[in-house]
Structure 1
Amino acid sequence: MGTLLAVVGTAGAFVVDPAESVPEPVAYEDTTELGLSSETDEMMGGNATVPRAQVFYSQLQYVVGYNGVGSFVTSLSDGRTEQQFGYPLVAYVETFDHRDPGTTDNGLLSASGAGGWTPAEDAQYVVDSSVRTPAGEAVVPFSSREAAVSFATDHDGTVVGWESVRDRSFDTDSAATVRSLAPNRWEAADDRIAEAERAADRPVSVVVGEDATTIGAAVEAAPPNTTVVVPEGVYHETVTVNESVSIVGDGARISGDGNGSVVTVRAADVAIRGLRIDGAGNQTRDPEAARADRDEETEAWDANIQNGYGHGDAGLRAIDAPGLVVENVAVETNASGLLLREGSHAVVRNLRVDGSETWQNGFMGIAGMESRVAVTDSRFEGGRDGIYLHRADGSVIRNSTFTDNRYGIHLMYTGDALVADNTARNELFAGITVMTRPAGNAIVGNDVRNSGAGIQSSGTQTYIGYNTLVGNELGFSTSARGSLYEHNVVVDNELGARATTVVPSSRVVANDFVGNDDHAAAGAGALRVWADGDRGNYWEGANLGPRPSGERAYRPTSPVDAALHREAAAVAVRESPAAVLLDRLRGTVPGARTGSIIDPAPVSTPFHPDRIDAVTDSDVGQRGPIHADWRSVLGSPTAVREAPDGNTTTQSTTGQIGTRNVGNDR
């Protein structure tokens, strides 16, 4: 591995001599994965696969696994991996010599059996072939040149060595890519909403009370692509919609009998507008559906959630009903407000759901199972989760308000989503939570206060920026891998941020930490470096003392540094010879680098003093949430961009940006 080590260089004063002990490869499931999201089953299907690498780093006690050779090569020159992990002692790549490599029907790499592990510098690589992987360009390693040449001949590729692969650049998605796409997702949602509303504007065919005695009878009588008008009044019935019609109310309420769902849609391109709905049953799950799933012995947890959560009662339920439009609708329920399943992709505007006072007795404002949604200008109060989405890639949730839920927004197995400019208050566990390793989500411009946590997001390649997190038990956690946390204002929380991943692979930069009991904490893992080149974060108290700004790193996990914004006397302790010596040890001895955070370049003034002033001014704060004008910033030619070396250029985004004070009346 001499070549590899020479290419990468060394880091820090503590170096292990690889000649003394070269570790053997481990089972891939024992690595800590980076690169492509580890949930590749939905992306690949069948027997498609991604070539993998595993790397032992000099300053890291964990073996790092990379899905995609390109993702490992990119990490070698990103300017951050070496800083935090040290240099690679040895890297192994998964080889395909005896695995009958080929392609799936859609051109993805496939293989049978288990691969072997070969040192990266000893392998032969097929590049520029017709084969692809979900990670992008396929770099397929082989232990023998003969096997590599055979595969390259069959798939129009070229055989190269490690040095050639090491010198290549790879077009890999990153959190910066997601950042640049966030304004586009907002605009795409605008288009989806406008198109859906135009399609729902249909000629009137039936008026309830004039042409039919009940809503159900009117729906049955209405020709497809027409409108049923429901005049003012209370209608005690349940309704099933089996045709593509619009149902438009004018001060009308549909009230069920307390059993089952009130309105059920089983057709495409249905619109429900201007109605109030109550009287749904209080069953939140269908035990028979969950039991049937267990009997079939399928993937129990995931399918059980879909069948259990997706089969309860709701004010409005859609089953295999794509193109649904829900607008100006209010639902009172102790179960779900709007339940979507089996591809019931929907546009939702001005929906209000009032759930149970205690979350244990209620369910979801919106529950979406494998159904993409665009939700805007809506309000969810009470119940379990304001919005729960499960395998709903590409969804957009924006400009909506969540109050007194368990979770405000709760995403599972859902990627490529935009969660933006929402307001959450008094959420028991968290305002926004994303679980089960999705990829490509953008969580931007939200205002979360007085909740268990502001934002907790897992997965990969997540962009979390321009959020305002105030008065929570926890501001945000860095649970997502390969992600970017920037321009968040984190004020007056019990804990500002928590580093949770054992292998730090995300950037945390240009955030403002003010007035928190503790600015940050870290769980087990390597040293976290929260900065990007010579630009760090603003930490209240970090620049107190005799040294000029920028000449001393800040460690929010150090007992002394952590007290600087609370105890003026801590400055004297920080400047003592013992503290200076301890700082040096932390930077050179691996055992002293674990479980801690360092910002080597803390800035002296906040990035967003206007937003800080707004949330700490009680008169302003009482008027409504504060949202950053992130769309004009990220959508402008001078927005933050990813530089070739993996660092960011900041341009206009490091200056002031506007804020929007949005009232609570949405």
Structure 2
Amino acid sequence: MAVFDTDSGRSRRLRLAAVALVALAAVGTAGAFAADPSESVPEPVRFEDAVELGLSSETDALMAGDATLPRVQVFYSQLQYVVGYNGIASFVDSRGDGRTERQFGYPLVAYVETFDHRDPGTTESGLFAAGGAGGWTPVDEAFYVVGSDAETPSGEVVVPFRGREAAAAFADDHGGSVVGWEAVRTRSYDVDSAATVRSLAADRWRTANQRLAAAERRADRPVSVVVGEDAPTVSAAVAAAPPNTTVRVPPGTYEETVTVNRSVTIAGAGAGRGDAAATRIVGNGTGSVVTVRAADVALTGLRIAGTGNRTRDPEAARQSRDPEGGTWDTNIQLGYGHGDAGVKAVGAPGLVVDEVVVDTNASGLLLRSGSHATVSGLVVHGTDEWQAGFMGITGMESRVTVTDSRFDGGRDGIYLHRADGSVVRNSTFVDNRYGTHLMYTGDALVADNVFRNELFAGVTVMTRPAGNAIVGNDVRDSSAGIQASGTRTYVGYNTLVDNELGFSTSARGSLYEHNVVVGNELGARATTVVPSSRVVANDFVGNADHAAAGAGALRVWADGGRGNFWEGANVGPRGPGERAYRPTSPVDGALHRTVSAVTVRESPAARLLDALRGTVPGARSGSIIDPAPAAEPYHPDRLAAVAESDGDPVESSWRSAAGADGNATATAEGAE
């Protein structure tokens, strides 16, 4: 069995000794390998026992059918966990980023999943597929097919085999060439990253502009029926209106529920904000008030009230418990998607909601079954107690574009479930449980919103989706500012002030940059066991504690010569940036609160402890280091605006930094 050949040329004896030390340190650790110290090299583990990096769970689910993804598992010298990479390209990419070795140590041995006797091929859509159970082969003993017609959802796939003949047979059937590990590890791969998501954020903003312009054109239709003149009720007017025309609803209160089965615009005289005349549609306190079951419907200038208070359908939710595979995901979709709402849309793509106010005990706008919607100027007043109400917008498998809207009270301001490609921007969220809450939703943009007094978090992303951009938001006085899981998430240019927690690095392979983190009880928390994200160019000022870390490897929050700005990091006799800063150290972490702590920091004992943390795996666990703390804040203008704003939101420059083509200007990307 071959030990992984490191680039540094360390001796085999040193590597084997380190294997034994790591094995001893790993015994009893959840998710870690356990090896007999008398053995020179650890054996492969079940991939399920490794800490996984690489593709997101949503891509994993896509591959879980007939498709397959080659995997790698790696034992590192300074890490007690086995790291599992989904895709060989993701492991190769990590070897060249210069950060992995700093945090994990060097790879002692790496195994690749091989497919010699698994009938490898492709699905109808060209995805790589193989059956049966695979074996594990040291990476430098395997043979690889590159350039074949097999793919993964993210692009090229490298297919490994234990024997050259099996590799050649696959290449004969599917093209490509057979190469060794040296050619694979020096090959360039187009690995999607959080930096790619950053470059796409401005494009998503422009896409939202296009959707809004198209929605405005779609809603602009000639008037065919006027309520009170041509028909006695809104329902009667909708029934009489030809498709692609407008039903005009004069000011007044219309006590009815309305079902829209044709592509029309229902235009009120106004939603009753301030002294404006109001067109009010009031239900009877049960069910939804306006139900849309047709494409390209537009609702404008309305105030809606009188909804029922059912937030979910218990009977629909019970269906998910059937033995045929009821899952939590299905439970949420069936339950949440069948409650009451001011406006409920089912199978109604192209919905336009503009200048509408909803007073509700349940959801304001409920979208289900592909009811993709464009929303502007929506105001939802929910319940005072979040347990008694529901969502401002509930989107179930329905993409939504929201701008210039407001959500007060209720459960979540916006809850999106499998709503890929959604955009939430320029909106205000106050007194919700969560402001914006994404589940199974990727490739979304959450930008330039204001969140205040959110009970749990301003922005939360759960269930590990991929490719979300969370930029330019201002979150204050909340339990947490931003908590985003998933992969390839871009969290940039946000202003996080006076929260219990500014942000957590819950997303894997993600980028956190240019955030201003001020006056929080805890500025940031490193939460992933195996760090794979980049944290750089953030300003930490006035937090009770700047950062904390859970169990796991050393986190390095810097990129080469650039790190973050930490208030207090540069006090003492040394010049700015001459000493690494450890926000998780009791001494360093107190420097911005107690300047006299610098005396302890410069003591011989403290220096010895620093050296210990850098070399011994147990001492590295659960810590953060910034080897190049910035001498000055990256965003002094935003810090000054926070100090002077009296709670007013602070604008960031993320869109101007993105440039006309959507690519962010060059900036360092540090490593978690």
Q: Give the Cα–Cα distance (whole angstroms) in 2 for the partners of residues 480 and 299 of structure 1.
A: 27
Q: 512, 520, 538: which is aligned to 1:485?
A: 512
Residue of 264, 267, 271 corresponding to 2:298: 271
2:656 paired with 1:632: yes
Matches within 5 A, 1:212-611: 212-250=231-269, 251-611=278-638
* Whole-angstrom distance in 2 between the partners of 1:51 and 1:621: 54
Compute the displacement of 1:96 (Å).
Answer: 1.3
Partner SS, residue 487 of structure 2: coil
User: Is the Cα–Cα contact under 8 Å of residues 103 and 109 in structure 1 kept in the other structure?
Assistant: yes
Partner Cα distance (2:10, 2:545) in 1: 34
Q: TM-score, normalised by structure 1?
A: 0.94
- Residue number in structure 2 paired with 1:97: 116
- Residues 85 and 636 of structure 1: is their aligned pair in 2 closer, same or farther, counting only changes over 3 Å? farther
1:139-178 superposed Cα distances (whole Å, 9 cap, x missing partner): 0111111111111111112111111111101001001000
Q: 1:588 Cα deviation (Å)?
A: 1.3
Q: Choose the corresponding residue for 2:196, options 144, 160, 177.
A: 177
- In structure 1, distance between residues paired with 2:566 and 2:286: 54
Q: Is the 8 A contact 1:206 1:229 kept in 2?
A: yes
Residue 135 of structure 1, CA deviation: 3.0
In structure 1, distance between residues paired with 2:81 and 2:326: 29
Paired residues for 1:16-55 under 5 Å: 16-17=17-18, 21-40=40-59, 43-44=62-63, 46-55=65-74
Is 1:366–1:388's contact at 8 Å kept on the other side of the alignment? yes
Code of the aligned partner of 1:320:
G
- Residue type of the partner of 1:424? F
**Which residue number corresponds to residue 652 of structure 1?**
none
- Work out the CA distance in 2 between the residues paired with 1:403 and 1:9: 58
Q: Is the 8 A contact 2:19 2:108 kept in 1?
A: yes
> Partners in 2 of 1:648 and 1:518 — Cα distance?
23
Do the aligned partners of 1:94 and 1:141 also contact (CA within 8 Å) in 2?
yes
- Which AA in structure 2 matches 1:182? A
Shifted more, 632-641 versus 559-568: the winner is: 632-641
Instruction: Give the corresponding residue for 1:655.
Output: none
Residue 655 of structure 2 aligns with an amino acid whose one-letter code is: R
Q: Secondary structure at the match of 1:171?
A: coil
Q: 1:9·1:87 contact (CA, 8 Å) conserved in 2? A: no
CA distance in 1, matches of 2:346, 2:429: 25
- After the TM superposition, which parts of structure 1 deviate over 6 Å for at least 4 consecutive aligned residues? none
Deviation of 1:38 (Å):
2.7
- Aligned-partner Cα distance in 2 for 1:301–1:8: 48
The separation in 2 between residues aligned to 1:330 and 1:401, in whole angstroms, is 14
State the identity as a percent.
73
Deviations 1:435-480 (A, max 9, x none): 0010100000000000000000001111000000000000000000
* CA distance in structure 1 between the partners assigned to 2:488 and 2:166 by the alignment: 34
How many residue pairs match? The answer is 642
Is 1:5 aligned with 2:5? Answer: yes
| Per-residue deviation, residues 601-633 of structure 1 (Å, max 9, x unmatched) | 00111000111111112xx234x2012021011
Following superposition, the deviation at residue 21 of structure 1 comes to 2.1
Partners of 2:554 and 2:253 lie apart in 1 by: 62
Distance of aligned partners of 1:637 and 1:365 in 2 relative to their CA distance in 1, 3 Å threshold: closer
1:654 matched to which residue of 2?
none
Measure, in 1, the Cα distance between the counterparts of 2:68 and 2:609: 47
Paired with 1:636 and 1:88, the residues of 2 have a C-alpha distance of 41
RMSD value, Cα: 1.8
Aligned partners of 1:176 and 1:641 also within 8 Å: no
Task: Assess, with a 3 A threshold, how the Cα gap between structure 1 residues 66 and 642 changes in structure 2: closer, same or farther.
Answer: farther
Instruction: Tell me the residue number matched to 2:30.
Output: none
3-state SS, counterpart of residue 384 of structure 2:
coil
Pick from 140, 163, 166: which aligns with 1:121?
Answer: 140
| 1:472-503 C-alpha deviation (Å, 9 max, x unpaired) | 00000000000000000000000000000000
The aligned amino acid for 1:409 is T
In the alignment, is the contact (CA less than 8 A) between 2:249 and 2:279 conserved in 1? Answer: yes
Q: In 1, distance between residues paired with 2:129 and 2:245?
A: 49
For residue 136 of structure 1, the aligned residue among 147, 152, 155 is 155
Further displaced range: 129-138 or 345-354? 129-138
The 3-state SS of whatever aligns with 2:85 is: strand
Q: Hey, what does 2:28 align to over in structure 1?
A: none
| Secondary structure, counterpart of 1:6 in structure 2 | coil
Conserved? CA contact 1:326–1:351, under 8 Å: yes
Q: 2:222 aligns with which of 203, 215, 221?
A: 203
SS in structure 1 at match of 2:618: helix
Gaps of 5+ in 1: 650-666
What's the secondary structure of 1:247's corresponding residue? strand
1:193 equivalent in structure 2: 212
Please state whether the residue corresponding to 1:626 is helix, strand or coil.
coil
- Between 564-573 and 296-305, report the one with greater CA deviation: 296-305
The code of the aligned residue for 1:373 comes to V
Matched, 1:71 2:95: no
Provide, for residues 355-398 of structure 1, a one-character-per-residue CA deviation record: whole Å limited to 9, x for no partner. 00010000000000000011000000000000000011110000
* Alpha-carbon contact 1:614-1:621 (below 8 Å) kept: no
